[in-house]
Amino acid sequence: MKITAQKLTQDIKKKNFASVYLFYGEEPFIIEKYVQDIIKNALEPGNEDFNLDILYGNEVDGAKIVNIAMSYPMMTDKRVVLVKNIHLLKTASLELLLKYIQNPSKTTCLLLTCAGLSNKHLKEIDKICTSFYAKPLYDNQIPEWIQDYLADKKMTITNEALRLLHASTGNSLQNLSMEIEKILLNIGERERIETADVEAVVGTSKLYNVFELCDSVGFKKLQVSIHILNHLLQLGESPGLIISMLNRHFTRLLITKELNVHKTNEQEMARVLKVHHFFVRNYIRQAGFFNNQQLKKAFTLLLETDELLKSSSQKPSLLLELLLIKLNYII
């Protein structure tokens, strides 16, 4: 049975635990968080040594897992058994585990994790136990996640610092949490993270990321755009990625222009564009620099440059600079 994040959180708070959980997906940070929350809430402080077992799929077999899971807890009413990476178990072990899951011990909370449902046994386990799929967050969900993460620590972050952190670190929650913790160590007793704090830890300037390049192109700041482009290329940024990000940016500008015609409010725009709401006004302002015909011409220029990058012997820096000039003076 699949369980939602909301229901899982509620059950943990109420200490209403299933006998067997399967956690899988591409976002290990989320999996680890729920696993630790269950352990913390299922076991009384001080009982972990006697009633918590952590096993690994590449080091254990099914018989050992089942034997431990069938053992009674000591001095409490619940035992927790965590088995990580069960996709590394051999077929015979998975079959034995399947049999146990069909009639599990009521005094054990068995937690299973894996990267994905790569074989029929894992898919069968997914069907018969309480399972949770930890999928990566979308771009527009990351800012809110960062704010919530910081709110738990009674911290805030400026919009520009948040954007730089996201742009520099990406969508991996594990990487984001690590960078945030480094920043918090550096800023001492302050309760607000500024752009300079992010730059000091992430090691990148606000000017030198592809998001700022897209914005400078959108605002038709040609000299700034070329300056950022040159630094990105010196830092080893892929010309293909730059084209891809510019293409996505102009797609959002075209959608913004259409939404403006229908007088769509900013919250709805954020939902359609799949961005956080405080980015919307930038898109509205930039869309005002182009008409629909110019925006559509931009895609032709992007496609032509992409083809030249793949087939021409000209330097990528020259082709991309020429692209920025054409986008700036597009008619």
- For residues 98 and 9, state if they share a domain: yes
Domain boundary (78, 99, 134) is at 134
CATH number at residue 128: 3.40.50.300
Among the candidates 115, 134, 153, a domain finishes at 134
- Using DSSP, state whether 2 is helix, strand or coil: strand
Q: Which residue has the tokens 């899988």?
A: 24
Q: What tens digit of pLDDT does each residue of 214-256 get? A: 999 999 999 989 989 998 898 888 898 899 999 999 999 999 9
Residue 237 pLDDT = 84
State whether 57 and 108 are in the same domain: yes
Q: What local confidence, expressed as pLDDT, does residue 209 receive?
A: 77
One domain, residues 126 and 179? no
Residue 207, pLDDT above cutoff 60? no
- What domain range is 57 assigned to? 5-134
Residues 62 and 86 both lie in one domain: yes
53 and 117 part of one domain = yes
What is the full DSSP assignment across 71-89? SPPSSSS-EEEEEE-GGGS
Per the rule left: phi > 0, alpha: psi between -120 and 50, beta: everything else, 155 is beta
Domain count, the chain: 3
| 204 — pLDDT class (breaks 50, 70, 90) | low
Residue 57 CA to residue 54 CA, distance in Å, equals 10
Mean pLDDT, range 299-318, rounded to an integer: 93
Q: What is the pLDDT of residues 58-108, one digit of tens each?
A: 999 999 999 999 999 998 889 999 999 999 999 999 999 999 999 999 999
pLDDT in tens, 131-176: 999 998 888 889 999 999 999 999 999 988 898 888 778 788 988 9
In the chain, the percentage of residues whose pLDDT exceeds 90 is 67
Q: Which of 202, 219, 240 is the last residue before a domain boundary?
A: 202
Mean pLDDT on 12-31: 95
Neighbours of 145 (CB within 10 A): 17
pLDDT of residue 206: 47
